[in-house]
Structure 1
Amino acid sequence: MSIISSTSPTASSTATLSQRLTAAIGASILGVCLVYFAGFSHIEAVHNAAHDTRHSAAFPCH
Protein backbone atom coordinates (compact mmCIF):
# COMPACT_ATOMS: atom_id res chain seq x y z
CA MET A 1 0.00 0.00 0.00
CA SER A 2 1.46 3.34 -0.97
CA ILE A 3 0.72 6.55 0.83
CA ILE A 4 0.70 9.80 -1.12
CA SER A 5 1.35 12.84 0.95
CA SER A 6 -0.28 16.15 0.20
CA THR A 7 3.13 17.84 0.01
CA SER A 8 4.38 15.82 -2.96
CA PRO A 9 5.39 17.93 -5.95
CA THR A 10 3.01 17.97 -8.88
CA ALA A 11 3.83 17.86 -12.56
CA SER A 12 1.69 20.85 -13.43
CA SER A 13 3.34 24.04 -14.52
CA THR A 14 1.86 27.41 -15.18
CA ALA A 15 3.18 29.66 -17.89
CA THR A 16 3.04 33.39 -17.46
CA LEU A 17 1.11 35.55 -19.87
CA SER A 18 4.29 36.81 -21.50
CA GLN A 19 5.52 33.26 -22.07
CA ARG A 20 2.23 32.24 -23.65
CA LEU A 21 2.19 35.38 -25.78
CA THR A 22 5.76 34.75 -26.93
CA ALA A 23 4.92 31.17 -27.86
CA ALA A 24 1.78 32.25 -29.76
CA ILE A 25 3.62 34.95 -31.69
CA GLY A 26 6.47 32.56 -32.52
CA ALA A 27 4.05 29.89 -33.74
CA SER A 28 2.19 32.45 -35.85
CA ILE A 29 5.38 33.71 -37.48
CA LEU A 30 6.48 30.15 -38.20
CA GLY A 31 3.09 29.31 -39.70
CA VAL A 32 3.07 32.37 -41.94
CA CYS A 33 6.60 31.60 -43.15
CA LEU A 34 5.65 28.01 -43.96
CA VAL A 35 2.52 29.06 -45.86
CA TYR A 36 4.38 31.63 -47.93
CA PHE A 37 7.29 29.26 -48.56
CA ALA A 38 4.96 26.55 -49.84
CA GLY A 39 2.72 29.01 -51.65
CA PHE A 40 5.34 30.91 -53.57
CA SER A 41 8.12 28.34 -53.85
CA HIS A 42 9.59 27.75 -57.28
CA ILE A 43 10.82 24.33 -56.20
CA GLU A 44 8.62 21.90 -58.11
CA ALA A 45 8.62 19.19 -55.41
CA VAL A 46 7.36 21.67 -52.79
CA HIS A 47 4.80 23.06 -55.20
CA ASN A 48 3.44 19.64 -56.12
CA ALA A 49 3.33 18.49 -52.48
CA ALA A 50 0.99 21.33 -51.52
CA HIS A 51 -0.74 21.92 -54.85
CA ASP A 52 -4.14 20.31 -54.23
CA THR A 53 -4.41 21.66 -50.70
CA ARG A 54 -3.72 25.19 -51.88
CA HIS A 55 -6.34 25.02 -54.61
CA SER A 56 -8.95 23.61 -52.22
CA ALA A 57 -8.25 26.54 -49.87
CA ALA A 58 -8.29 29.07 -52.78
CA PHE A 59 -4.65 30.00 -52.15
CA PRO A 60 -3.12 31.41 -55.35
CA CYS A 61 -0.13 29.45 -56.53
CA HIS A 62 0.06 30.22 -60.25
Structure 2
Amino acid sequence: MQQTQTAQISAITTDVNVVVQAVLAMALGLFIVGVVGFSHISAVHNAAHDTRHANAFPCH
Protein backbone atom coordinates (compact mmCIF):
# COMPACT_ATOMS: atom_id res chain seq x y z
CA MET A 1 0.00 0.00 0.00
CA GLN A 2 2.79 2.41 0.78
CA GLN A 3 4.31 1.86 -2.64
CA THR A 4 1.07 2.97 -4.34
CA GLN A 5 0.88 6.15 -2.25
CA THR A 6 4.49 6.96 -3.07
CA ALA A 7 3.80 6.54 -6.79
CA GLN A 8 0.76 8.83 -6.57
CA ILE A 9 2.70 11.51 -4.68
CA SER A 10 5.51 11.27 -7.22
CA ALA A 11 3.05 11.71 -10.11
CA ILE A 12 1.43 14.73 -8.43
CA THR A 13 4.82 16.31 -7.80
CA THR A 14 5.75 15.83 -11.46
CA ASP A 15 2.48 17.44 -12.60
CA VAL A 16 3.03 20.42 -10.30
CA ASN A 17 6.58 20.85 -11.61
CA VAL A 18 5.34 20.90 -15.20
CA VAL A 19 2.71 23.52 -14.40
CA VAL A 20 5.20 25.71 -12.51
CA GLN A 21 7.66 25.52 -15.40
CA ALA A 22 4.96 26.43 -17.92
CA VAL A 23 3.78 29.41 -15.86
CA LEU A 24 7.34 30.67 -15.42
CA ALA A 25 8.01 30.30 -19.16
CA MET A 26 4.88 32.32 -19.97
CA ALA A 27 5.82 34.98 -17.42
CA LEU A 28 9.31 35.26 -18.90
CA GLY A 29 7.87 35.56 -22.41
CA LEU A 30 5.44 38.27 -21.37
CA PHE A 31 8.23 40.11 -19.58
CA ILE A 32 10.46 40.01 -22.65
CA VAL A 33 7.69 41.16 -24.99
CA GLY A 34 6.40 43.80 -22.60
CA VAL A 35 9.70 45.26 -21.47
CA VAL A 36 11.95 44.81 -24.47
CA GLY A 37 9.31 45.27 -27.14
CA PHE A 38 8.03 48.55 -25.72
CA SER A 39 11.31 49.82 -24.31
CA HIS A 40 12.10 53.50 -24.77
CA ILE A 41 15.81 52.70 -24.80
CA SER A 42 16.55 52.60 -28.50
CA ALA A 43 19.45 50.12 -28.25
CA VAL A 44 17.26 47.55 -26.47
CA HIS A 45 14.31 48.08 -28.78
CA ASN A 46 16.46 47.93 -31.92
CA ALA A 47 18.11 44.70 -30.74
CA ALA A 48 14.67 43.12 -30.28
CA HIS A 49 13.56 44.49 -33.65
CA ASP A 50 16.59 43.05 -35.44
CA THR A 51 16.11 39.71 -33.72
CA ARG A 52 12.50 39.54 -34.91
CA HIS A 53 13.62 40.21 -38.48
CA ALA A 54 16.44 37.65 -38.22
CA ASN A 55 13.87 35.01 -37.22
CA ALA A 56 11.54 35.99 -40.09
CA PHE A 57 8.90 37.22 -37.63
CA PRO A 58 6.90 40.16 -38.95
CA CYS A 59 6.76 43.11 -36.60
CA HIS A 60 5.31 45.88 -38.73
TM-score by shorter chain over 0.5:
yes
Q: CA deviation at 1:57?
A: 1.2
Deviant stretches of 4+, over 6 Å: none
| TM-score, normalised with respect to structure 2 | 0.59
Q: Structure 2: which 5+ runs fail to align?
A: 1-10
Checking the alignment, whether the CA contact within 8 Å between 1:39 and 1:59 is kept in structure 2 is: no
Residue 38 of structure 1 is aligned with which of 36, 39, 47? 36
Larger Rg: 1
Which structure has more helix as a fraction of its residues?
A: 2
Gaps of 5+ in 1: 1-13
Identity %: 47
What per-residue deviation string (whole Å, max 9, x for no partner) do you get for residues 9-62 of structure 1?
A: xxxxx85101111111111111111122111111111012122223441224xx
Aligned-CA RMSD value: 2.0
